[in-house]
Amino acid sequence: MREKLENIKNLKRIPEKGIIGGVCAGVAYFFGWSLWLVRLVTAFLFIGGFHFMPILYILMWIFVPKMEKAPEDFDAVTK
């Protein structure tokens, strides 16, 4: 059981791969989505008038822990 818990990825910001705070990079890596797609959806939600998105982004920037170094498989996972 403990081995399964250790293999689970935690959501973390990846500032090394990010433009602002690494939030989109962390979300893309966590879910295995394309980084450009996560950034595009985030930008659309910012511009599209969804007032919760800037607040959500800032809260994630503050409360989601930072990953000290980008994972080696980041580019393979987020293609």
Backbone φ and ψ of 13, nearest 5°: -75, 150
Asked whether residue 10 is assigned to any structural domain, the reply reads no
CA–CA dist 72, 16 (Å, integer): 12
CA–CA dist 18, 43 (Å, integer): 14
pLDDT reported for residue 2: 53
In sign, the C-alpha dihedral spanning 61, 67, 72, 73 is negative
Q: Domain range spanning residue 57?
A: 24-66
pLDDT in tens, 19-51: 999 999 999 999 999 999 999 999 999 888 778
Look-up: residue for tokens 């800032």? Answer: 58
pLDDT in tens, 50-62: 788 889 999 999 9
- For residue 8, is pLDDT > 80? no
For residue 17, name the pLDDT band (cuts at 50, 70, 90).
Answer: very high
Whole-prediction pTM value?
0.84
Distance set, CA 6 to CA 2, 52, 61 (Å): 6, 33, 24
Q: Domain tally for the chain? A: 1
